[in-house]
Structure 1
Amino acid sequence: MPTVVLPTAGDLLHFELGVAYEIFGNPPREATEGWYDVLLCGPGPVRIGPFTVEPDHGLDRVATADTVIVPACADVDVPPPPELVEAVRAAHEAGARVASLCTGAFVLGAAGLLDGRRATTHWAHAAELAARHPLAVVDPDVLYTDNGSVLTAAGKAAAVDLCLHLIHLDHGAAVANSVARRLVMSPHRSGGQAQFVGTPVQARGDHRLADLLAWAQQRLDRPLTVTDMAREAHTSPRHLGRQFRAVVGQTPMQWLLTQRVRRAQELLEATDESIETVALATGMGTATTLRRQFKRIVGIPPAAYRNSFRSAGPA
């Protein structure tokens, strides 16, 4: 019986720990043999939210696991416990498959397991993961990554996606689908986590581009060029490009396109307007252009996005 170990060291979030324990600890009827032996391993009792968790074994048991699933860290600003990092590294060196859920990726990063590998975490912490572990190839848009022996999941619900993926690998589609039905969710979700990222808002309103960004956002339904924006800012297009890269990390046209798509998301969620009307209202011009750019940035087509995020009634 393969062992799945959930390390319970450090300050953890209970959702991801509970999800993994539920999924791997309850075999469906279709799993006739070879299901998992799930173990909680830690240095002692740990308080996780309103719960106290008693481990089955110490951290030394982690190194003998077939699969190690690292739950989410509650605070990424606090370095993971060295003994946890060492236990995860030892498990990987011994041949274990190691997966992280949400911010558990920071433990894998500290263990050196993300170097040269594609990884993800919750979109709100992806930039910090990339900055802290520059050798990792951090993709903030996907729901999970699979490097064979090292896997990572984005936030919350994506933990379920990765767990179902692991069951699919181990037991096939029929068993994974059965578990998904028990959880009342799709066995595979379309798109990535880009569709869940909130509309970007400038943290401060006193930077040198604040007035220009507000001016442009009020004119998303109109044709705008870099020259138009530079004229409004009383500067040259080249200097404006340098300012944009310094302040928002994008070129003026990249930023403008992102704002148009975010505005389209708002309209798709809150109104019944047709795709053609939304395209005009966001300065995209045609439904074809909107569909192409929306799919590229958000990861799914506008119609699929509306079906997933439609409000109860029009705004």
Structure 2
Amino acid sequence: MQRVVVIVQDGAEPFGLGSMCEVWAEPYHPEDDAPVFDFRVCTPTPGRVRGASGFDLYVEHGLEVVRGADLVCVCPKRDFTEPAPAVADALRAAHDAGATIFAHCTAAFALGEAGLLDGRACTTHWRHVDTLARTYPEARVDPDVLYVQDGRVLTGAGSSAGIDAALHLLRTTFGGRVAATTARRMVVAPHRDGGQAQFIRSVVPDFESDALGSVLAWIPEHLGDDLSVEALSRHALMSPRTFARRFRQETGSTPHAWVTHQRVLAAEQLLEETALPVEEVASEVGFANAATLRHHFTRARRVSPRQYRRTFSCAADPEERTG
């Protein structure tokens, strides 16, 4: 991998372009001895490219420089669902010629337009994974990961996950030392645990049934109580069988799964905002013990409660952040 080309379009997101420059456009640093790339930025119509954040770009090269590239990166743009046939054609041709294609964040939509996601695992920012799946139903969209590589197609989730994906590509192409050296220069972790599920916040939606809506609003305030189907059905003035059936009809989930999700959300907040030991967090949100909390939290967020606290806490003890 020697020649790297980044495609930008009107509405270019500056962080996406900047992160690619940080990884692929650096000059030679003798102390690092990392590879240096023939790096170029291009656009469908060379000249002024409108930016998304109050400043524009001037781009000299057109899409012809994509030919012969070893790696073609696509920078996200503000109107990411708007078709760009010229870009799609260039990406298809580059992939057919043997190039690796890397889409940062919502640039995955450009790969979908090019047909490069058909039958492939991929991802994008968690806010837009459902739209990506609907728009390109042949794509296998994974909503939880930071990045996915499937063959010579690499997609990263939002913002900083593009750096994770780029470091992954460096690691698999040049080895762990190059990836670690690049990460150290950028002052980022060479590898992050978990997936983007840990960054998602959920709220209680509206429901047709006033009784059921009342119960769902009541649950987060009483997570330490008995929240079995029998107890919840009494609160809703229904039989347990009727309650469980209507609950699944309106939420698509079982009462147990819903309660567990709410307890995980409450645990997140306590891990972020307090220095309570994990055992006390488990008790506060209604889990029987710390082991039960760890089981459900790790399954939902792809990281343990302790790892989550190290990432997000403003109140944890130093040992929690570093241990």
Same fold (TM over 0.5): yes
- The answer to whether the 8 A contact 1:30-1:178 is kept is no
Q: Report 1:194-213 matches (<5 A).
A: 194-198=197-201, 200-202=202-204, 204=206, 208=210, 209-213=212-216
Q: Which residue of 2 aligns with 1:17?
A: 17
Asked if residue 36 in structure 1 is aligned to residue 37 in structure 2, the reply is yes
User: 1:243, CA displacement in angstroms?
Assistant: 4.4
- The answer to whether the 8 A contact 1:144-1:153 is kept is yes
- The answer to whether the 8 A contact 2:3-2:69 is kept is yes
Asked if residue 113 in structure 1 is aligned to residue 105 in structure 2, the reply is no
Residue identity matched to 1:225: S
Q: Which residue of 1 aligns with 2:57?
A: 53
1:51 & 1:297 partners in 2: Cα distance?
39
SS of equivalent to 1:296: helix
Q: Which residue of 1 aligns with 2:166?
A: 163
1:60 & 1:249 partners in 2: Cα distance?
49
Q: Which residue of 2 aligns with 1:219?
A: 222
Q: TM-score, normalised by structure 2?
A: 0.88
Structure 1 vs Structure 2: percent identity of aligned residues? 42
Q: Which moved more, 1:277-286 or 1:42-51?
A: 42-51
Residue identity matched to 1:52: D
User: 1:60, CA displacement in angstroms?
Assistant: 2.9
User: 1:84, CA displacement in angstroms?
Assistant: 1.5
User: 1:52, CA displacement in angstroms?
Assistant: 2.0
User: 1:285, CA displacement in angstroms?
Assistant: 0.7
- The answer to whether the 8 A contact 1:268-1:302 is kept is yes
SS of equivalent to 2:59: coil
SS of equivalent to 2:192: coil
SS of equivalent to 2:56: strand
User: 1:273, CA displacement in angstroms?
Assistant: 1.6
User: 1:241, CA displacement in angstroms?
Assistant: 4.7
Unaligned runs of 5+ in 2: 318-323
Q: Which whole-Å deviations, capped at 9, do the CAs of 1:39-78 have from their partners, x for residues lacking one?
A: 11111221112332222321233243211111123234x4
Sort the Cα spacing of 1:61 and 1:239 in 2 relative to 1 into closer, same or farther, 3 A. farther
Q: Report 1:1-315 matches (<5 A).
A: 2-27=2-27, 28-29=29-30, 32=33, 35-42=36-43, 43-44=45-46, 45-48=48-51, 49-76=53-80, 78-198=81-201, 200-202=202-204, 204=206, 208=210, 209-237=212-240, 239-241=242-244, 243-245=246-248, 247-312=250-315
Q: Which residue of 1 aligns with 2:320?
A: none
1:4 & 1:192 partners in 2: Cα distance?
27
Sort the Cα spacing of 1:149 and 1:282 in 2 relative to 1 into closer, same or farther, 3 A. same
User: 1:278, CA displacement in angstroms?
Assistant: 1.1
- The answer to whether the 8 A contact 1:10-1:80 is kept is no
Q: Which moved more, 1:168-177 or 1:26-35?
A: 26-35
- The answer to whether the 8 A contact 2:274-2:315 is kept is no
Instruction: Please identify runs of 4+ aligned residues in structure 1 that moved more than 6 A.
Output: none
SS of equivalent to 2:172: helix
1:156 & 1:259 partners in 2: Cα distance?
27
SS of equivalent to 1:54: strand
Sort the Cα spacing of 1:229 and 1:65 in 2 relative to 1 into closer, same or farther, 3 A. same
Residue identity matched to 2:61: H
SS of equivalent to 2:310: helix
Residue identity matched to 2:68: T
Q: Which moved more, 1:217-226 or 1:276-285?
A: 217-226
Residue identity matched to 1:138: V
Q: Which moved more, 1:44-53 or 1:13-22?
A: 44-53
Sort the Cα spacing of 1:172 and 1:233 in 2 relative to 1 into closer, same or farther, 3 A. same
Residue identity matched to 2:4: V
1:240 & 1:112 partners in 2: Cα distance?
45
Sort the Cα spacing of 1:65 and 1:291 in 2 relative to 1 into closer, same or farther, 3 A. same
2:283 & 2:175 partners in 1: Cα distance?
46
User: 1:284, CA displacement in angstroms?
Assistant: 0.9
SS of equivalent to 1:51: coil
The total of aligned residue pairs comes to: 312
- The answer to whether the 8 A contact 1:10-1:81 is kept is no
Unaligned runs of 5+ in 1: none
Residue identity matched to 1:41: C
